[in-house]
Every structure is written in C-alpha cells, then in structure tokens.
Structure 1
Amino acid sequence: MEEPDNDDNVWNKLDTNITFVYANSSIYWLYLLLKETDLTGEHPIKDEIGRVRKYMNDYIQIKRDQPTLNIRIAKNLIRNALWDPTNNLNKNDK
C-alpha cells in the first residue's frame, strides 16, 4: 500500500528515483564500455547521465534552501498570539 504524499515521503521518493536513474544509467555506461562501444562522440547515454546530474544538483539545491521549522520559536509565537490581557489581569486580582 502506498503512503500518502506528505513532505517527507515526497522527498524520499524523489531521492530514490534520482538515485535509481543515475545508478541505472551508470550501469548501462559500464555495459557499453564492456562491449567496447565508442563513447567518445555524442552518445545518448552521455546526455542521459548529464540530465540526471542536473536533476541531482537541483534536488540538492532545493533541499538545502528549503525552510526549516524552529519549534521553540513556533511555540512562542503561538503562545503570544493567543495571549489575552484580560486573562492575565484576572489571575493577578485573585
């Protein structure tokens, strides 16, 4: 059964797919080398590996630049946003 697409699951799927495609292309490159195929010219596998490298670099850049949640600051923000001055006055009067 497939998990729902939350943020962590999407990043894991993306990481897995990019890694799989890069590994598959690299293995195919090695296969062509073993078959003594001339890869010095414009071979489509070079374009494929270059495309996957570009996606890997984009993925790393996006992952590095994504915002993170500071839980302490978020708790303070919520607590202060919900603060009601009348509640505070009632506590001091008692």
Structure 2
Amino acid sequence: MADDAAVEDYPTEIEDNLNDFDSSLSSVQNMVQTLVSVSRSDRLLKLDPLEQAKLDLMSAYALNSMFWMYLVTQGVNPKDHPIKQELERIRTYMNKVKEITDRRKAAHIDKEAASRFVRNALWDADDKKRKDKTEHQQKGKHTKFTWS
C-alpha cells in the first residue's frame, strides 16, 4: 500500500528517469565508498605528483558538482552561488594539468636529424655537377695489380 502512495506522488512518465537516476546515484555511492575505503596516503604513495594532482582535482570537482546538484534540489540557483566560481577555479587547474600532460606527450625534435633532412632536401644543381665531375674523374684512375 505504501508503494501505491509513492507511485502517485510523481507522474508515471518520469519513472524511467527516476530509476536511471537511482541507479546512477548507487553507482556514485559505490565509487565514493571505494575511494574512501583506502587511505589517502596509501593512494598517493602509488602515484607520481602529476597523477596526485589529477586525483585531487577530480575529487574536488566531483564533490563540488554534487554540491551543485544538491543546491538545485533545494531550489537554490547555483549560478548565483559561490560554488560556480569554485568549479571554474578547479576547471582552470584541470586545464593547467592537461597542458602539462600534453607537453609531456608532445614529440621532441631531434635537431641533428632535422638538420640532416633539411640539408639533404635542399638540392643544389651546381653541387650535383661538382660531385658528378669528381666521380667521373675518379673512374679513369684504376690501380693495376700484378700477380707475381
């Protein structure tokens, strides 16, 4: 009977959306419990400083996003709340970390190899004639070996 009363509290058209929301909320709860079950120091020992920063930023962003959703459920406009500036600040730091990560992944230029490519790509007709002439002159000079 309590189930019948609960069904009548909201329109039946949104029942699928509510079920999806409930399963998503359960998933978030499981992830948070997994994250909280391991001590922070144990987690950070296994990560390099850049990965630590990513984890901290992700955690801060997730918590602030959940607070944003809480404000919405309470009828508060989060766009007028300081949480908006906090999320923007975290996003700024996330972009900085992304730039650092991208710089690490960027290809490094081998200057010596690049100079060889450029030198060989720049073909000089006069230089080619000089090489051909030198090779032609060397062809006529053979050393004879005699068997004794």
Give the TM interval when normalised to the shorter protein: 0.5 to 0.7
Indicate the percent of aligned positions where both proteins have the same amino acid.
Answer: 26
Mapped pair 1:50 → 2:88: yes
Distance 1:35 1:61, change over 3 A: same
Partner amino acid, structure 1, of 2:103: D
Mapped pair 1:64 → 2:108: no
Shift of 1:67: 6.4
Gaps of 5+ in 2: 1-40, 111-148
Q: In structure 2, the residue corresponding to 1:66 is in which secondary structure?
A: helix
TM-score by length of 2: 0.39
Gaps of 5+ in 1: 74-94
Shift of 1:38: 2.3
Shift of 1:25: 0.5
Counterpart among 39, 44, 48 of residue 9 in structure 1: 48
Mapped pair 1:28 → 2:50: no
**Number of matched residues?**
67
Distance 1:64 1:36, change over 3 A: same
The higher-RCO structure (CA 8 Å, 6+ apart) is 1
Shift of 1:40: 3.8
Alpha-carbon distance in 1 for matches of 2:71, 2:50:
32
Matches within 5 A, 1:73-88: none
| Cα offsets for 1:6-58 (capped at 9, x unmatched) | xx5112211100100000000000000000112343x2000000000101111
| Cα offsets for 1:35-92 (capped at 9, x unmatched) | 0112343x20000000001011110011111267x9xx9xxxxxxxxxxxxxxxxxxx
Which of the two has higher C-alpha Rg? 2
Alpha-carbon distance in 1 for matches of 2:105, 2:78:
42
